[in-house]
Structure 1
Amino acid sequence: MIKNIITYPTPTGVEYAPDIRVFDEQLFIFIDDLKETAEANKLEGLAATQVGSYYNVVIVKKDEEFLELINPRILRKSGKVTSNETTSYFPNTSAKMQRYESISLVYEDRNGDSHSLKADGDFSILLQRKIDYLFGANFLTQLKGKDKENFETSLNANGASCPTTPSTFSRDYFIKASNFILVAMLLLLISSFFISQKDILDDMWNYQLFLSFTVLGINIFYALYSYYENKKFSICTNCYNMSIFGVVAMGFFRLTMIMLVSLLLIN
């Protein structure tokens, strides 16, 4: 059965895959499902944690056949190499990773028998990447400093991640403008306490009405533009839409309060 492969930003839910002690039919079915999933997605390897399983299992393609590694452990590492890597967890995004050029590892097969394996080159890098997942590691947890910043920028540019900093979204300018006008309306309201002339108060009320319709229009444009902007990011989902709704609702609430008080004191 083909399983769903977890992709960023959804966590795999597995920080550490414990060793397998029971080698039964349920395990064998899962391994076959893992291989079928990798084949269906044209992957060279897959870790059990990438489909949300606690099984300590990795499958990797070697000589056109999948090698099953149960409870794999890297024992020796030698050499350093920089590799440009991709992984299904971060779709359409690559990262420059520091890897060991050669590794030696031990693992078990379906019968619980132990085996050793030496790997170098691309096969070594593939094994390191997949085994990392069993220990809750991925590109974001391993990259540091500028390399991590560059990778996060790539995630945003490729639509694999939805930025959350205010400067990222153009829609934030709408909110800044709305808040600026609300502050002006509040100052206008406060100044009415010091004015008694009816004609000036009437002018102030007209200004408040004009500014309130402006804020209303800005919030409507904000909601529409936010929906358009979110479409550019493949993972923007209901949580972001609810956030937009919350911002608009809060803006309407502030506007309503200011206008109610203005109606009582100015009009």
Structure 2
Amino acid sequence: MIREIITYPTPPSVQYATDVRVFNEEILSLIEDLKDTIEANSLDGLAAFQIGSYYNVVVIKKEDGEFLELINPRIISNGGRVTTLERTAYFPGLSANVTRYEHITVVYQDRGTNQHSLKADGAFSILLQRKIDYTFGSSFFNKLNKEEKKLFEKKLDFGSNIAISEACPTKFNRDYIVKAVNITMIVMLVFVVASLFMSEESSQELWGYQKSLFFATITLNIIYFFYAQYEGKKFTSCTSCQIGNIIGTTLILLTKVFAIMLISYFIM
């Protein structure tokens, strides 16, 4: 029977998987359900935890299409470290760079209660480790380093790997326009202060330059407003927050320049 796969943010049914002690029809049925669910979802493996069962059972689909049934699997030795890009059904559509053991040795039982051991390396080793994680109520999220975990939390917020690549950057080209506006306003303030030490004739001449700077600043603000919106469309994952920021920045800059111009009018 095809079972529903538990996905984030729903937690697994229990904290730790219970080892199978009685190899009865319930366990055999669980194994078949895992196989059916793997086939229906084109997966490479599932732990019983992922379909809401509390038993320590893992089923892996091998390259030849056959299934490997692992009951009460345990990793007894490991070696080497490797970082790879992983995906899991618990976080559908998302991936993360996870560091794991390069090769492992696993002991387990089959449906006939026979004890086995196997050595795995490469992709097979990583797959086994990922599935055995679930028997401890864990997922690859708990294996991430600080930076990768922070990045993955953003992916969870957006619900997409693509969204994270489009997330708002810390710097935009439009910031250079804001910088130019601020420099222009600083020059205008310098003119205001300078006019206090000039003759009336010189102050009037300076007033002409001040008006030119004022119109230049207004023009830069207009350019900023429209260019910022154009640039913001490239990052659709945070369009709403950008629009608010663009409008707010424009209003603040205009308020400042009009205030400077008003002061200039009375002083110059």
Q: TM-score range by the shorter chain?
A: 0.5 to 0.7
The residue type equivalent to 1:31 in the other structure is: I
TM-superposition CA deviations, 1:69-99 (whole Å, max 9, x none): 0000001101100010000000100011001
Q: Is the 8 A contact 2:133 2:140 kept in 1?
A: no
- Rounded to whole Å, the distance in 2 between the matches of 1:21 and 1:10 is 27
Q: Kindly indicate whether residue 123 of structure 2 is the aligned counterpart of residue 103 of structure 1.
A: no
Give the count of matched residue pairs: 161
Aligned equivalent of 2:47 = 47
TM-superposition CA deviations, 1:98-138 (whole Å, max 9, x none): 01111001000001000010111100000000000001111
Which TM-score applies when normalising by structure 2? 0.58
Aligned equivalent of 1:183 = none
More displaced 10-residue stretch of structure 1: 148-157 or 65-74: 148-157
The residue type equivalent to 2:149 in the other structure is: K
Aligned equivalent of 1:149 = 150
- Rounded to whole Å, the distance in 2 between the matches of 1:8 and 1:134 is 16
Aligned equivalent of 2:69 = 68
- Rounded to whole Å, the distance in 1 between the matches of 2:92 and 2:33 is 21
- Rounded to whole Å, the distance in 2 between the matches of 1:78 and 1:14 is 29
The residue type equivalent to 1:101 in the other structure is: E
Give the deviation of 1:157 after TM superposition. 2.5
- Rounded to whole Å, the distance in 1 between the matches of 2:88 and 2:122 is 17
- SS of the equivalent of 1:128 reads helix
- SS of the equivalent of 1:92 reads coil
Aligned equivalent of 2:81 = 80
Give the deviation of 1:149 after TM superposition. 0.4
* RMSD across aligned positions (CA): 1.4
Q: Is the 8 A contact 2:47 2:135 kept in 1?
A: yes
Provide structure 2 residue ranges, at least 5 long, that are not aligned to the other structure: 162-236, 238-268
- SS of the equivalent of 1:90 reads coil
Aligned equivalent of 1:57 = 57
- SS of the equivalent of 1:20 reads coil
- SS of the equivalent of 1:13 reads coil
Which TM-score applies when normalising by structure 1? 0.58
Q: Alignment identity in percent?
A: 59
Give the deviation of 1:140 after TM superposition. 2.3
Give the deviation of 1:56 after TM superposition. 0.5
- Rounded to whole Å, the distance in 2 between the matches of 1:158 and 1:137 is 20
- Rounded to whole Å, the distance in 2 between the matches of 1:152 and 1:66 is 33
- Rounded to whole Å, the distance in 2 between the matches of 1:159 and 1:83 is 19
- SS of the equivalent of 2:26 reads helix
The residue type equivalent to 1:103 in the other structure is: I
Aligned equivalent of 1:29 = 29
Q: Which has the larger radius of gyration?
A: 2
Q: Kindly indicate whether residue 125 of structure 2 is the aligned counterpart of residue 127 of structure 1.
A: no
Stretches (4+) displaced over 3 A: none
Aligned equivalent of 2:38 = 38
- Rounded to whole Å, the distance in 2 between the matches of 1:127 and 1:25 is 25
- Rounded to whole Å, the distance in 2 between the matches of 1:26 and 1:18 is 14
- Rounded to whole Å, the distance in 2 between the matches of 1:118 and 1:72 is 12
